[in-house]
């Protein structure tokens, strides 16, 4: 590769992250096309392999084939590895390997890892990387062991199969991927809290973002000695907004589906509450389902689209525009309604560039979703509500589906592939990666105010 081209694609941290994800998607596609990866022993077509690889690396969970029956043990292993690498982060994984081999990180790798993990400074990168690795292993092993015991003694699976089921679902849950090893996802366990609640916990922990998890753990230890917890504004916003959205989603799901005989109507009060909570936690970022998505009311699908679009926390395994973006926009609207000159959240004034970034992310997301929905409606005969749900699910890397993904034409599935990729790396990251260089305006233009509203 010429020096100029090499410099173009490696000097910008965000651009390196984009290329890293794209490279892993391609490697996964090649591996899944091998005859060894399919249960039938034949080679998998390019589109199926590409779609599955993208869905796994982007921790989405949408699929065009049944994961539990189509892929062999090798294929499932490839998918699991892609989920782990994609959820962990391409540059995070590479940086950890460098730390293990040489014990140090070069400046360029620190910059790319900082861009991906949202570390506050270069000095934080090493600490964040080790914290991410330790937290990931602890949650996945803990939840996997619990699920394995439940599968073994609650459903009489063999020891090996129980361990495999438990660990696979734990990794998929913590990375918010939503890939399962049953054709009906988790519907058969809809009334088993020993399965659904640990998975929901893993999804929530993975979805709030690594910086928030590490800060909560760090301040928990500090609170034991000093008795004080001084959380950053980012952590406060993420935790409070996540809890509010989780409660709102649970309540709305229960109200909208309480009497639907095809969903919550078939369960008792405890079963309805359990599945409302589980659906709310999954609709934020993960793709597991204990209810038949295709049987939900149109009002529930619309509510789910809103939750999926918002997504989870930044610098984690969740997708969407992120809860902090939503909270910042809500604060800006509240400030404007009150006639205040600055947006204030929890006793802190928000910088103007933060508002611009939040608005950019939200509007880019809305534009992508609308354009993709229009494109899919023009190439398929599926109804609007199902198409919009599928598009938002792909963009927010959620993975919930009304069941139309496999029936979409080739161009429709390729549109979803692009949405999953963009949704994982983020509109801002993609935009900065494609920009050749930053431009600074060296002069100010006259100010004028157009009429708004």
pLDDT digits (tens, 9 = 90+) for 243-297: 999 999 999 999 999 999 999 998 999 999 999 999 999 998 888 999 999 899 9
Question: What pLDDT, on the 0 to 100 scale, is given for residue 134?
Answer: 82
Domain boundaries, the chain: 7-221+230-432
315 vs 212 pLDDT, higher one: 212
Q: pLDDT category, 98, cuts 50, 70, 90? A: very low
Helix axes 73-88, 13-33, angle to 10 degrees: 170
What's the average model confidence in pLDDT over 103-112? Answer: 51
For residue 344, the 8-state DSSP code is E
Q: In whole angstroms, how far apart are CA 273 and each of 7, 256, 291? A: 55, 12, 13
Q: Is the pLDDT of residue 80 over 80?
A: yes
Say if CB 294 and CB 406 are below 8 A apart. no
Candidates 372, 377, 404; CA nearest to 391 is: 372
Report the residue count for the chain: 453
Confidence of residue 101 (pLDDT cuts 50, 70, 90): very low
Residue 450: band (very low, low, confident or very high) from pLDDT cuts 50, 70, 90: confident
| Residue 199 confidence (pLDDT) | 96
Q: Pick the more confident residue, 427 or 316.
A: 316
95 confidence band (pLDDT: 50, 70, 90): very low
Residues 431-444 have a mean pLDDT of 58
Q: Which residue has tokens 């014990």?
A: 103
Least confident of 31-40, 226-235, 261-270, 388-397: 226-235
Q: What is the pLDDT of residue 434?
A: 47
What gap in Å lies between CA 299 and CA 256, rounded to an integer?
7
pLDDT at 223 over 80: no
- The rounded mean pLDDT for the chain is 84
User: Could you tell me the CA-to-CA distances from 220 to 24, 214, 216, 231, 248 in Å, in that order?
Assistant: 36, 10, 6, 10, 27
- Write out the two tokens for 411: 């161009």
How far lies 34's CA from each of 79, 84, 147, 426, in Å?
13, 20, 31, 30
The model's pLDDT over 352-363, given as tens digits with 9 standing for 90+, comes to 878 888 888 899
Indicate the SS3 state at residue 38.
Answer: strand
Residue in this structure with the two tokens 């609170």, named with its chain if needed: 223
DSSP-derived pairing of the beta strands 348-349 and 344-345? antiparallel
Other beta carbons less than 10 A from residue 121's beta carbon: 9
The whole-number pLDDT of residue 373 equals 97
pLDDT classification of 446: cutoffs 50, 70, 90: confident
Do 399 and 393 meet the contact criterion of CB atoms below 8 Å apart? yes
The token duo for 61 is 């969970």
């Amino acid at each position: 590769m010429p020096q100029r081209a090499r410099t173009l694609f490696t000097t910008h941290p965000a651009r390196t992250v984009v290329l890293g994800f794209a490279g892993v998607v391609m490697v996964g596609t090649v591996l899944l096309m091998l005859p060894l990866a399919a249960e039938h022993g034949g080679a998998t077509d390019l589109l199926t392999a590409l779609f599955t690889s993208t869905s796994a690396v982007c921790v989405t969970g949408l699929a065009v084939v049944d994961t539990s029956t189509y892929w062999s043990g090798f294929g499932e292993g490839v998918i699991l590895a892609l989920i782990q690498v994609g959820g962990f982060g391409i540059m995070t994984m590479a940086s950890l390997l460098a730390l293990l081999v040489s014990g140090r990180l070069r400046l360029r790798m620190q910059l790319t890892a900082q861009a991906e993990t949202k570390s506050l400074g270069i000095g934080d990168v090493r600490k964040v990387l080790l914290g991410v690795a330790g937290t990931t292993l602890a949650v996945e092993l803990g939840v996997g062991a619990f699920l394995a015991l439940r599968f073994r003694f609650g459903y009489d699976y063999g020891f090996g199969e129980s361990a495999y089921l438990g660990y696979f679902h734990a990794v998929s849950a913590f990375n918010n991927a939503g890939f399962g090893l049953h054709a009906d996802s988790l519907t058969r366990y809809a009334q088993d809290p020993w399965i659904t609640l640990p998975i929901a916990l893993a999804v929530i922990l993975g979805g709030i973002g690594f910086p928030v998890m590490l800060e909560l753990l760090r301040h928990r230890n500090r609170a034991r000695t000093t008795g004080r917890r001084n959380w950053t504004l980012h952590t406060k916003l993420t935790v409070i907004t996540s809890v509010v959205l989780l409660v709102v989603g649970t309540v709305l799901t229960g109200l909208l589906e309480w009497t639907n005989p095809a969903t919550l109507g078939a369960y008792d009060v405890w079963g309805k509450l359990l599945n409302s909570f589980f659906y709310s936690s999954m609709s934020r970022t993960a793709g597991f389902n204990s209810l038949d998505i295709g049987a939900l009311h149109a009002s529930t699908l619309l509510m789910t689209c809103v939750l999926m679009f918002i997504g989870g926390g930044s610098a984690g395994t969740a997708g969407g525009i992120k809860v902090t973006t939503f909270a910042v926009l809500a604060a800006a609207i509240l400030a404007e309604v009150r006639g205040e000159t600055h947006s204030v959240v929890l006793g802190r004034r928000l910088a103007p560039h933060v508002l611009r970034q939040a608005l950019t992310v939200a509007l880019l997301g809305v534009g992508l979703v609308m354009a993709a929905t229009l494109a899919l409606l023009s190439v398929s005969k599926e109804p609007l509500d199902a198409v919009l749900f599928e598009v938002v699910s792909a963009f927010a890397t959620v993975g919930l589906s009304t069941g139309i993904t496999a029936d979409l034409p080739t161009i429709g599935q390729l549109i979803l592939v692009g949405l999953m990729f963009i949704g994982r790396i983020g509109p801002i990251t993609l935009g900065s990666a494609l920009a050749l260089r930053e431009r600074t305006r060296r002069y100010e233009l006259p100010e004028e105010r157009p009429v708004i509203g």
